[in-house]
Chains A and B, each alone.
Chain A
Amino acid sequence: MIAMLHYAWLKSRRDSSLFAFIMIPALFPLTALGGATLAKGHWHYPLFLNPQYTPVQNATLCAQIATAISVLFTVIPAFWTLRPEIATKSVTSFFFAARPMTVVASVIVFAFALSLTGWIGAITMIRILTGTLPPHVAFMTLKVAVGCLATSALGTLFVTISSQPALLVGGYMACGLLIPWIQGSKSSLHVMGGVAAAIVCTALAGFILERRCAT
């Protein structure tokens, strides 16, 4: 798996997609908080989304939006990273050295890691710009991690079904259902449900990928 992760890292670093995949969620708070503050006509620190809210409330609201963006955005690196190899079936060259399930799991871990990094960047940005952190940030991070894992597995499953970029829309629609469920989860049982969904998607993606490349 390390070799596959190295491949994905090298490839996305070279085509600069790595930068985009991390920075888009990470920079969201800057654009949202900066834009909302400037819209009120004057520069004010701490920055805010709503001037009526306290800094903690602003940080919480911004973190909730950042969560949705991070989870949703995970579909893109998961779908995109091995898309050309899957479309041309060149991915089979990896099958002589690694099992299809390992290839699929590597893509999922890669996209998950990028999104989580992006989210951590976003939380850091929120801390800097609002001067505070949202409450229960550790549990929120856990929920984001599970959400990113599930959407990463979903994005990978979609690309194994078809590498047509239009299928990203399907991935987004599915994530649209997942996000309220993840955001609203209050117990670890809900969180485990996300992990189970990721495992099912991984198994399905590995199976479909091997079948698809055999034709």
Chain B
Amino acid sequence: MTEHAIVAEGLLKRYGKVTALRDTSFAVAKGTITGFVGRNGAGKTTTLKIVSTLLHADDGTCNVLGYDVRRDPYAIRGRIGFLPDMFELPAVLTLREYLGIFTELYGIARGDRAKRVDAALQLTRTEELSERKLQALSRGEVQRVGLARALIHNPDILILDEPAAGLDPHARVELKELLRLLRERGKTVFLSSHVLADLEEICDELVVIRRGAVIFSGDIAGFRRQMRATTRWRLTAVSRPIALPSGIRGEVVETGPTSMDFEGNLSAGERARWIAELVAKGVDVCEVSPVRSTLEQEFAKAIEEEDEVVAS
């Protein structure tokens, strides 16, 4: 049975007349990286704040590591590392001093403090910044400092709100490596991001939120299955135009001078028949292959479908 690090059920949150979350339910399995996806204003930050005990939901329950966020917030806070979407650092301190303060705050034994700071610096690849004043850091470096701070007490769960924001491509690759490493060490990572390509690469599971309601919670393959009942196939020939044989159910979605995109559930036999027919007509077939859509396309499609449902 899967053990869950976070279980949210029926969360409701209102800011005045605006409903930020409505009946939001999801679960995050222990030792996984779970992506939290949604448009701006969908309710991601509100949910992350509730999970990290900084905000109370108006209704519903949320358990983190078995503790109720409302009843035992202080039991949870010491066991999570939270990186908010926006934060400021004290400009006049050096990174080592800043992290040192947090080792004190978390009650880490005096003898272990320097080691913890070094470990966090090493994990986030900020060793070369350690003696630099925090005011001299770039946006991406600040983000890495935030991560180092979130990791300093070796938390069981990391809750990251847009951790890739402001990171250059190289730093993004490093972040992904770090998150994978943390997963290998048994940590649970729950992160929101707009960079869906990154999520696709590293996430085991996905929670998709739209207008305050979760529209999907599960693994990425499941999300693809839910979003797509059919597969898109692309057939490419050398020179001649391509025709679709009779008796195949599906839809031609795009045609080019020497290619055709077809959406439908083509069996291996049907694909073979199609190729044979084209060859018989003198068409030199190069390739028939499934077109893999990106998570970004799937997400856009999911949002589009939801919009259509709302509109109708």
Contact = CB atoms under 8 A, between A and B. Distances in A.
Contacts of B49: 214
A215 B153 CA distance: 26
A44 interface: no
Nearest to B82: A96
Contacts of B153: 97
Nearest to B107: A97
A88 interface: yes
Chain B interface: which size bin?
A: 20 to 34
Greatest chain A CB density within 10 A among B15, B49, B78, B101 is at B101
Contacts of A6: 101, 104
A2 B104 contact: yes
B93 interface: yes
Contact of B88 (A2, A4, A85, A213): A85
Interface in B106-138: 106-107
A90 B88 contact: yes
Interface stretch (A8-16, A123-131, A188-196): A8-16
Given A14-B93, A214-B56, A97 B74 contact: no
Interface in A90-146: 90, 92-99
Nearest to A15: B92
Greatest chain B CB density within 10 A among A88, A94, A97, A213 is at A97
Interface in A3-52: 3-4, 6-7, 10-11, 14-15
A99 B74 contact: yes
Given A11-B93, A14-B93, A96 B88 contact: no
A4 B102 CA distance: 9
B78 A96 contact: yes
A96 B84 contact: no
Contacts of B52: 96
B47 to A, nearest CB: 14
Nearest to A87: B88
A165 interface: no
30 contacts: A2-B104, A4-B105, A6-B101, A6-B104, A10-B101, A11-B90, A11-B92, A15-B92, A84-B90, A85-B88, A88-B87, A89-B84, A90-B89, A93-B82, A93-B102, A93-B149, A94-B105, A95-B54, A95-B77, A96-B78, A96-B80, A96-B81, A97-B78, A97-B105, A97-B106, A98-B105, A214-B54, A214-B55, A214-B56, A215-B55
